[in-house]
Every structure is written in C-alpha cells, then in structure tokens.
C-alpha cells in the first residue's frame, strides 16, 4: 500500500476467491474515490495474474457441483439475492452515487435494473426451455437442452456498476456456469456489494469469484486462461476488439457490448416539448455516460432553429453538483480526470471542424466543483454528419445538433457511424415511425422516447462496432451463457440410419 493516502475510516475491499475474502497475493492496493469530491471511499486490493489464476481454478473446481445443482435451486438463490437487493436498495444507491457520481435517482434506477434482472433470471431456474421435436425414424426421440459452458469471465464497466454485472452474472449462474468477475477498477465497492449479496443468498463457495484490479494487468490473463470458456465484456470498442482477437484465437466464445453514437431524430411534425424532454434526459442523464446516451440530435430543417434554441436554454439551466445533493443537482460529475479531459477535448475538436458551442463547453471549476470532475452540459451546433464529434463516442454530456431535410436523409445520418446501439424518432406520422423502425441499423429503436432506458426483458445490444453479434438481457442472454445439446434416443432396438431409411 506504499504511497497511498491513508484514511482510517475508509473501507478496504478484497477479492473473493473460493468463498474467502482475501487480499491479492502481491499485497498492493489502489484507491476508490468519489468523482464529485475527490474524497477517498475505500482502498482495494490490487490483483495480478496469480490472483486471476487462483480465481479461475476455484471456479473450475466449483463447476461440476454447480452444474449438477438443479436449476430451480440455483434460481432460488437468485430470488434470495433479489430480496436482499430490494431491502438494501437505498444504501446501495447512495454508495453507488458516491463511488461513480450518477445522481441518486439514477443510482436507484441502476440498482432496480439489477433487481429486475436478478428476478428475471431467477425465473429461468424453472424454464430454460429446450425443444422436444418429432424424430423422422420410428421409436426414436429427438430433443435439445441447454448446457452451461463452464467458467465465465465477466468484465464489467463502471457506468452501470451494479446493473451490468447482474446482466452477466445472473444468466451465467442460473444456467449453471461458475464465474470470475473482474469489475472496472473505478467501481470496486459496488462489485463487492453484489458479491456479498450473492454469497449471503447462499451461493456455494467458488461459484462466483471476484478479482479486483486494472484490466490492463488482468484482462489478457483472464481472457487467455485455458480454464475460462466464455468471456463477456462491456466497454470500449477498442478493448472489445482486442478481447475478441485474443479469445478468437483460442476459439472461445466472446460476447462484447461496446460503444454507441446514438441519435434522436426530430421530424417537423414532432411534439417538441416531448422531444426536448427526451433529448435532455438522454444526452445529459448519467452525465452522458451511458452507452445508450444520445450524442446526436438530427432535426428537420423546419424545426431545427426552434428546437436548438429551446435545447440550449434547457442545457444552460441544468445544475452541476454532487449526485447525493438531490435538491440542487441535475447532472453529476464524469468518472475521472482522464474522462473529463477526453470529453472536453471534443469541444475543441468540434470547433476546429467548424462546429459552434451553443451551450456549455467548459470544464466547470466554480467553488466545490473544482474538487470533482464536472463538465458543463454542452450543445454543439453547425455540426455536419461526418465531423468527428458526430462520429466518435464522447461518453460525456455533449450533444451535437445536425440538420436534415427528410426522413430518408435522417435515417442515412443515423446509420452513418460505425456504431449501432440505440436511436429514436419523434414524429406523429405512423408511416414515418414504421419506416424508421425498419431502416434504423441499431439494436434498439425508440419511438417518441429518448435513446436510453432499455428494460431487461428484451435483448440489449447493437450492430456493427457496438458488438460482435451477441445480445444481453431478455431471452437472448440465455444463448450467450449456454451451449445447445441435441440428444437422440433410439429405443427401436435395431440400427436405424437417419436420412437412409425408405
């Protein structure tokens, strides 16, 4: 722990390996601090590849026992975990706001999304349907069933530090996989809380193992460990491509949930009040740090001036502050200094390409804000679809307004980035709405709502560089975390040759 600030009241967070909460073998640590105030929240043990190895081995040892535990019993543990989350929702939300900055109402939503996913997957304990289909030969039975893969490595981001881990852990566990969980090093506390809950709910030791530390040190070791069968990753497209390459060489299943450059289309017949609410919420909620955040507004020529004026006025009114201050804060900090610098760099990049800052545009340093990582809610105008600010993921409270002249043009612009996660249209024309639903090349499409707020019972994920073809949540998640096994039983007592009998 040499060199770290000391704070005797701060927590110390440990790995959970084979059911035991232990420090990493290297005896090193890192700091977990509040992005709104800079205060130290906890120190966390800093793992290395030896800890990864131990975690994977523990998960492997537990795999058979867990696979053979009846799925309804696995589901019951998840139900109990969901109950614990519900009971602790408020304290978990407060810890989340301190740890990663999102405003309290949104932190409650993050926990609720985790609860929803946990209950949803608990129900899968008694479903996990397979098929029983007619065989083409007499006295023969044909059926399919889901099998766990074995050991799942779940590598999760800081922006939904509770919900996203549940998207991975819950389907993995209910389907009978064991897990090594490597959360983002910005949010180790939420990860520890989730693992505590699952252990308390009755998960046997070794079924879920937690390894804290930076992905740069642990990621490759985890992905390439021969004991890991499946890697599920949420994060940047660059890291996803790297993990996909590494896992692909080893013929592992790799499920990636990556970046977005989501757009809200506003047609000339839209309800502008409704559209503005959706834009402000989707662009500046979670300080723009959702992979579903609206980063482009594509507005019809007839209403663009009016919409922009009103959006600018709304953006300027948003109050920055710590997320725990429910009365006075609309928008919290971004996660870190480097994130703040990256977000802010896009203001200059936009201006150099000809965009104009119509609202915000600055790092906020007034009074107490100087202690945290605050960026003003920013609206860029005069943006053309091919500019970097309209193409690259910014992951902060910055939105670009682009003018278009028809639905066809708007759809072209929506589809013009390398990403394909979410988009939305505001219109009162049912035909336009259906054309948009059909032609938008994204995994999520909203009509008369913003780009954020997916519910867990439908597939979540995107096309193109947003992912590698998998989906989280909903029934689709079951396909990521299980293998199909097709079983034929011949009870004829003689050799029957498929495709060759008369």
Q: Which residues pair with 424 in a beta bridge?
A: 264, 446
Cα separation, 411 vs 263, in Å, equals 10
Contact predicate 147/230, CB 8 Å: no
Q: How far is the CB of 244 from ligand UN1 (least distance, A)?
A: 18
Q: Which is nearer to ligand UN1, 57 or 99 (CB)?
A: 99
Reduce the DSSP state of residue 227 to 3 states and report it: coil
Contact predicate 78/53, CB 8 Å: no
Catalytic residue among 257, 376, 393, 403: 257
Contact predicate 373/343, CB 8 Å: no
Q: CA dihedral in degrees (306, 307, 312, 313; nearest 10)? A: 70
Q: How far is the CB of 260 from ligand UN1 (least distance, A)?
A: 8
Q: Is 257 a catalytic residue?
A: yes
Catalytic residue among 291, 376, 393, 472: 291
Cα–Cα separations (whole angstroms), residue 246 to 250, 283, 443, 471 = 7, 34, 25, 20
Provide the binding-site residues for ligand UN1, judged by CB under 6 A.
113, 159-160, 164, 290-292, 452-454
Q: Which is nearer to ligand UN1, 58 or 164 (CB)?
A: 164
Reduce the DSSP state of residue 429 to 3 states and report it: coil
Q: How far is the CB of 324 from ligand UN1 (least distance, A)?
A: 21
**Sign of the alpha-carbon torsion through 348, 351, 355, 359:** positive
Q: Which is nearer to ligand UN1, 163 or 359 (CB)?
A: 163
Q: Which is nearer to ligand UN1, 356 or 457 (CB)?
A: 457
Reduce the DSSP state of residue 177 to 3 states and report it: coil
Cα separation, 415 vs 408, in Å, equals 11
Cα separation, 215 vs 44, in Å, equals 14
Q: Which is nearer to ligand UN1, 80 or 471 (CB)?
A: 471
Q: How far is the CB of 109 from ligand UN1 (least distance, A)?
A: 8
Q: How far is the CB of 188 from ligand UN1 (least distance, A)?
A: 18
Which residues carry out catalysis? 257, 291
């Amino acid at each position: 722990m040499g060199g770290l600030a000391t704070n005797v009241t701060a927590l110390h967070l440990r790995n959970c390996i084979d059911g035991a909460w232990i420090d990493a073998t290297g005896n090193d640590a890192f700091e977990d601090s509040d992005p709104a105030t800079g205060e130290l929240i906890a120190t966390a043990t800093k793992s290395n590849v030896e800890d990864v190895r131990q975690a994977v081995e523990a998960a492997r040892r537990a795999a058979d026992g867990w696979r053979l535990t009846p799925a309804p019993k696995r589901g019951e543990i998840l139900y109990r975990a969901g109950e614990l989350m519900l009971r602790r929702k408020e304290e978990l939300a407060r810890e989340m706001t301190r740890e990663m900055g999102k405003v309290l109402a949104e932190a409650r939503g993050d926990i609720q999304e985790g609860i929803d996913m946990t209950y949803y997957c608990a129900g899968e304990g008694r479903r996990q349907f397979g098929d029983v289909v007619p065989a083409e030969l007499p006295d023969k039975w044909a059926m399919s069933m889901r099998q766990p893969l074995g050991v799942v490595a779940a590598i999760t981001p800081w922006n939904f530090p509770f919900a996203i881990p549940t998207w991975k852990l819950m389907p993995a566990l209910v389907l009978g996989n064991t897990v090594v969980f490597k959360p983002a090093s910005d949010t180790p506390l939420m990860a520890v809380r989730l693992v505590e809950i699952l252990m308390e709910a009755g998960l046997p030791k070794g079924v879920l193992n937690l390894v804290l530390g930076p992905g740069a040190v642990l990621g490759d070791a985890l992905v390439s460990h021969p004991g890991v069968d499946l890697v599920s990753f949420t994060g940047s497209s660059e890291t996803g491509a790297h993990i996909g390459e590494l896992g692909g060489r080893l013929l592992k299943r790799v499920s990636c949930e990556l970046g977005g450059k989501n757009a809200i289309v506003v047609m000339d017949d839209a309800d502008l009040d409704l559209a503005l609410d959706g834009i402000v919420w989707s662009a500046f909620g979670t300080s723009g740090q959702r992979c579903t955040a609206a980063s482009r507004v594509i507005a019809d020529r007839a209403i663009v001036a009016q919409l922009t004026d009103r959006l600018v006025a709304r953006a300027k009114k948003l109050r920055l502050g710590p997320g725990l201050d429910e009365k006075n804060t609309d928008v919290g900090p971004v996660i870190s200094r480097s994130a703040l610098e990256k977000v802010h760099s896009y203001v200059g990049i936009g201006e150099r390409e000809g965009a104009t800052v119509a609202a915000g545009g600055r790092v906020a340093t007034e009074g107490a804000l100087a202690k945290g990582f605050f960026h003003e809610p920013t609206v860029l105008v005069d943006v053309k679809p091919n500019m970097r600010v309209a193409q690259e993921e910014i992951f902060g409270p910055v939105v670009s307004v682009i003018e278009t002249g028809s639905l066809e043009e708007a759809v072209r612009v929506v589809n013009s980035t390398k990403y394909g996660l979410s988009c939305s249209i505001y219109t009162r024309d049912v035909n336009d709405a259906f054309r948009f639903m059909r032609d938008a090349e994204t995994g999520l499409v909203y009509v008369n709502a913003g780009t954020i707020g997916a519910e867990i019972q439908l597939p979540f994920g995107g096309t193109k560089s947003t992912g590698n073809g998998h989906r989280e949540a909903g029934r689709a998640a079951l396909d990521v975390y299980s293998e199909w096994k097709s079983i034929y039983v011949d009870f004829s007592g003689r050799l029957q040759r498929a495709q060759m009998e008369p």
